[in-house]
């Protein structure tokens, strides 16, 4: 059972012959009552302060948990962004490789086509050169025959043209 300051003040003692000094006992009881009263007030204040601090602690703990959750969410988002960026980069690289391969194939095909065209043009040049050489030989042979002919023979050998008199 808890003793209150009022219990102490109302406490009575039996007196005996030659017993205690009543005024001194009452003074001491008053001091005890005051001290207990002060201690109860202090205890109430401390309890109130403890409750207030507990509320603050709870608020800080809630804030801490919120920050932790936010940090975890941010980390997950960062990881997801990084993973997405890596995937996107891989796709871009793969696409670039495919495009480069296609460009290379096109260039090789164009080079082959140009080479074939060049060979065809070279063959035409050779054929034309041989044709020109053949025509030149024919004209040279004709010129040589004409220069070896005798002047009289030229007129005799030459075909008569219509309208010529002789």
Q: How far is CA 23 from each of CA 28, 87, 143, rounded to the nearest angstrom?
A: 9, 94, 172
Would you put residue 18 in left (φ > 0), alpha (ψ -120 to 50) or beta?
left
Among 57, 7, 49, 64, CA closest to 30: 7
Q: Tokens representing 5?
A: 């300051």
* Torsion angles phi and psi, residue 159, rounded to 5: -70, 150
Query: Distance between CA 84 and CA 82 in Å, rounded?
Result: 5
pLDDT tens digit at each of 166 positions of the chain: 577 778 777 877 777 777 777 788 888 888 888 888 899 999 999 999 999 999 999 999 999 999 999 999 999 999 999 999 999 999 999 999 999 999 999 999 999 888 888 999 999 999 999 999 999 999 999 988 888 887 665 555 555 556 555 5
């Amino acid at each position: 059972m808890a003793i209150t300051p009022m219990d102490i003040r109302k406490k009575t003692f039996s007196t005996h012959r030659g017993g205690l000094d009543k005024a001194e006992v009452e003074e001491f009881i008053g001091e005890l009552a005051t001290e207990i009263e002060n201690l109860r007030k202090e205890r109430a204040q401390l309890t109130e302060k403890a409750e207030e601090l507990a509320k603050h602690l709870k608020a800080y703990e809630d804030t801490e948990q919120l920050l932790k959750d936010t940090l975890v969410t941010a980390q997950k988002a960062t990881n997801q962004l990084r993973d997405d960026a890596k995937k996107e980069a891989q796709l871009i690289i793969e696409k670039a490789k495919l495009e480069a391969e296609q460009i290379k194939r096109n260039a090789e095909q164009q080079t082959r086509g140009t080479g074939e065209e060049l060979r065809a043009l070279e063959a035409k040049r050779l054929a034309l050169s041989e044709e020109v050489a053949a025509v030149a030989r024919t004209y040279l042979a004709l010129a040589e025959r004409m220069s070896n002919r005798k002047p009289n023979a030229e007129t005799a050998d030459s075909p008569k043209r219509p309208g010529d008199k002789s």
